[in-house]
Amino acid sequence: MEQQLKELQTEALAKVEAAADLKQLNDIRVAYLGKKGPITEVLKGMGKLSAEERPKMGALANEVRAAVSAAIEGKQSALEQQAIQAQLEKETVDVTLPGRPARAGNAHPLTKVVEEIEDLFIGMGYSIAEGPEVEMDYYNFEALNLPKGHPARDMQDSFYITEDILLRTHTSPVQARTMEKHKGQGPVKIICPGKVYRRDNDDATHSHQFTQIEGLVVDENISMGDLKGTLEVFAKKLFGEDREIRLRPSFFPFTEPSVEVDVSCMCGGKGCRICKETGWIEILGAGMVHPNVLEMAGFDSQKYTGFAFGMGPDRIAMLKYGIDDIRHFYTDDIRFLKQFAEHE
């Protein structure tokens, strides 16, 4: 039995040394150390040995098992290291090659126009005010001189969540909230950029979601002349120093008097497709803040006056970049957005 165990050890160690891969090594492990292996078979004959020989053979068998296990573990480590080395050699990377530059994106055309307008008005002393897009009916309509049942509400078909909560239809609620916070004390000088929502049928010039920027100035002795001067500076800075503006009478419930503001077309008044042969392009609405709006916000309309204006950056961006469909702004087509990288 002793001779058999020593021969099995010599045989197993030789096969372990000759193993070429991990699969062969695992087969050797199962063959020699498994329950049906030759070492186990030899040990089954220990019952025929004398009481003095059994401990000696048991110790020898454990030595043989330990020697074979140690050899297998050592060979396994060597084979694993060889496999890693072979993989590294196969996947060698030439670190001297130039790196691939990360492709940078560019600002969305609407973002560019909004930031340009913000910078312009900040330079004139305005601050930026923001408010919730999910708004109360009171601030969206009632505080702006549009009580329940007012026919002018039909001009802004709205997304209502409850009877008193809706998606804001303009950024004017931010003006109402800001005036309320001032508790009747001027001056107030803000612009309110943000997204607004109206139940509209989407087409080339209409969208159920669009961007709006509104402005508000409230102080003593504010006049229509201040409004006109502000909008002239705005038009010349945004569209070019050669541009002019004109004011046309209009109606908005929250301003009185109210005006539509046009900017002279790039065609120089000759008439073209963009201005529909008129020489003028409508860009925003404006007017003097209605006394009722001032009073509801806590201002004394006998002491304070103000003007307000509202514009759509979507329309301005379409004019500025020659975009013919408002839906391009919201479909996230990379081909469309890439065109504006050169304007960075």
Walk along the chain (344 residues) and give the pLDDT tens digit of each residue. 667 777 778 888 888 888 888 888 888 888 877 777 776 666 666 666 666 766 777 777 778 778 888 888 888 888 888 888 888 888 777 778 787 888 777 888 899 999 999 999 999 999 999 999 999 999 999 999 988 887 777 776 688 999 899 999 999 999 999 999 999 998 999 999 999 998 878 887 778 889 999 999 999 999 999 999 999 999 999 888 988 999 999 999 999 999 999 998 878 778 877 778 888 888 899 999 999 999 999 999 999 999 999 999 998 888 888 788 888 888 888 888 888 876 55
**Total Cβ atoms within 10 A of residue 175:** 30
Element (H, E) at 274: none
| Rounded-to-integer distance, Cα 181 and Cα 166, Å | 22
Q: Residues at the annotated binding site for Mg(2+)?
A: 256
CB under 8 Å, gap of 24 or more: what pairs does 35-40 form?
Answer: 38/8, 39/5, 39/8, 39/64, 39/65, 39/68
Burial environment of residue 163 by CB neighbours within 10 A (0 to 12, 13 to 18, 19 or more): exposed
Binding-site residues from annotation: 256
Which of these, 323, 343, 112, 113, lies nearest to 234 by C-alpha position?
Answer: 113
Contact 12, 68 (CB under 8 A): yes
| Count of C-beta atoms within a 10 Å radius of residue 153 | 17
pTM confidence score = 0.67
DSSP state of 160: B
- Could you tell me the sign of the dihedral formed by the alpha carbons of 35, 38, 41, 43, in that order? negative
For residue 18, give the 3-state DSSP assignment: helix
Q: Which of 274, 265, 259 is nearest to 242 (CA)?
A: 265
SS3 165: strand
